[in-house]
Structure 1
Amino acid sequence: MKFRHAAAAITALLVMNAAAAQTAAPAKPASAPAPAATAEAKPGANAATDPATPGMPKAETPTAPAGAEATAALKPGDATAGQGKAAVCGACHGMDGNSTDPQYPRLAGQNEQYIAAQLAAFKSGKRMNPIMMGFAQPLSEQDMHDLGAYFATKTSLPGVADQALVDQGQTLYRQGDVDRGIPACMACHGPDGRGNPGAHYPQVTSQHAKYVEARLKAWHDNGTQSDDPHTKIMAGIAQKLDEKDIAAVASYLEGLHTNEPAAAAPATP
């Protein structure tokens, strides 16, 4: 009898110990945890985006900034595309860029880079002109280059200089005036007045004298509020010119023409 009671007590004790052990031990995970090398982010990887990291979102394909995309997408100006876009410009500047009204500049032969830069300045408000600002607003950067490419293919019609002003105008254009601190115009615009496309210096040859005179007088009288370095240079120079200087240079530019270079003569034996 005592043996039965002892056996029952031992059995009960074993059952209680087993239950306690089962309660205290943590449940075995359904799957083994990832090794430490797998759980940690790989060197150089972003733990929040690395697709190899369990439970983390997949890495997205990196995208270039919007500005970089726009720059990469910009192509050189297309003269053919620019011809269609230039229809609205023709009312003032002429369909071939040779305006008949001297208050509007001739664009024929003007370099693409300069035209595109000026249209961008009108659009941003850096260059103030109510009419041009309105036309420039809907243009994309590609439109501006296409327009520039179109007008660059056209030939500027020759003008006529006032012979009474030629000598003074030519001296200022080609030599400047050292005593007054006036540099030669051709230092930037070239000996033939065709400008420098890479530096955004415009073509000035055959330009309307009245237009040039108006621009120089505006810089002379008002200076400039623009932060454009080219405009600051021109305002500084114009303020050193008097009325006769301005009239002479403007007239000289209208009569400044560039003949196509003749073919080189064959060498004589």
Structure 2
Amino acid sequence: MNFKSLLALFGLTVGLNATAIAADLKAGEETAGAICAGCHMPDGNSVVDMFPKLAGQHAQYLTKQLKDYKSGARTDDTMTGMAATLATDDDIENVAAFFASKEGTVATADDAKVALGKAIYRGGNTTTHLPACMGCHGTNGSGNPAAKFPALAGQHATYTINQLNAFRDGKRANDSNHMMRFVANKMTVAEIEAVANYIAQLK
């Protein structure tokens, strides 16, 4: 890595840290407790598998999703209403930073599907030209905050399956450059279920 690359990386890191520092975690906790905890739990580790775990998710990704719900770029009968109660960008950023500050837990996985899920997640499917998930989401499911690629490790399998199906069916379309719709359309039902269960047990 050359000097210019190091400077760019340092600048990106400082920028991300500044965003986190600027957020008001206390205000985020209060807002999340009043609006989000009923489904996602106070610490963001939801116990109902249709509701995503938010604990440890990147603030940049959560901020984008909440803004997309408010704008209509992403739709959900419940979340559209919930996001509308976040009146300002500061409200959104505080909630996102609060959940990002919490520690996520692993979810329940079907052990019989994990091996195939690992193979697809790490290597894709060369026959169908399905890219490996880890290319964007990391080898351990940690994601990429700068690119707004979400952390996946420990996410409920049911939620992940629902989202992949929504991308495949075109019901969810707030992915950058159609990336997730392209990927999901190349996945079989078995591959979707397997990847979701592999992700669920990552930590």
Q: TM-score range by the shorter chain?
A: 0.7 to 0.9
Unaligned residue ranges in structure 2 (runs of 5+): 1-20
1:136-192 deviation digits (Å, cap 9, x = unpaired): 123211111101110011111122322211111001111111221111101111111
1:69-121 deviation digits (Å, cap 9, x = unpaired): xxxxxx83222221011011000001100111111000000010011110000
Query: Is residue 128 of structure 1 aligned with residue 75 of structure 2?
Result: yes
d(CA) in 2 for partners of 1:86, 1:227: 23
d(CA) in 2 for partners of 1:227, 1:148: 18
Unaligned residue ranges in structure 1 (runs of 5+): 1-74, 258-269
- The 3 A distance-change label for structure 1 pair 123 and 176 is same
Equivalent position SS for 2:94: helix
Aligned residues: 181
Query: Is residue 241 of structure 1 aligned with residue 191 of structure 2?
Result: no
Equivalent position SS for 1:251: helix
The residue type equivalent to 1:246 in the other structure is I
Query: Is residue 216 of structure 1 aligned with residue 170 of structure 2?
Result: no
Larger radius of gyration: 1
Equivalent residue number for residue 54 of structure 2: 107
TM-score, normalised by the number of residues in structure 2 = 0.84
1:228 is displaced (CA, Å) by 4.2
Q: Aligned Cα RMSD in Å?
A: 1.5
1:229-250 deviation digits (Å, cap 9, x = unpaired): 25x2111111111111011000
Equivalent residue number for residue 118 of structure 1: 65
| 1:224 and 1:235 in contact (8 A); partners too | no
| 2:25 and 2:95 in contact (8 A); partners too | yes
Equivalent residue number for residue 142 of structure 2: 194
d(CA) in 1 for partners of 2:170, 2:128: 18
The residue type equivalent to 2:150 in the other structure is P
1:226 is displaced (CA, Å) by 3.4
Equivalent residue number for residue 163 of structure 1: 111
TM-score, normalised by the number of residues in structure 1 = 0.64
Give 1:144's match in structure 2, choosing from 77, 89, 92.
92
1:217 is displaced (CA, Å) by 1.6
d(CA) in 1 for partners of 2:112, 2:145: 32
The residue type equivalent to 2:43 in the other structure is D
1:15-47 deviation digits (Å, cap 9, x = unpaired): xxxxxxxxxxxxxxxxxxxxxxxxxxxxxxxxx
| 2:45 and 2:104 in contact (8 A); partners too | yes
d(CA) in 1 for partners of 2:77, 2:55: 22
More helix by percentage: 2
| 2:153 and 2:200 in contact (8 A); partners too | yes
Equivalent residue number for residue 85 of structure 1: 31
Equivalent residue number for residue 182 of structure 1: 130
d(CA) in 2 for partners of 1:108, 1:252: 18
Equivalent residue number for residue 154 of structure 1: 102
Equivalent position SS for 1:199: coil
Equivalent residue number for residue 263 of structure 1: none
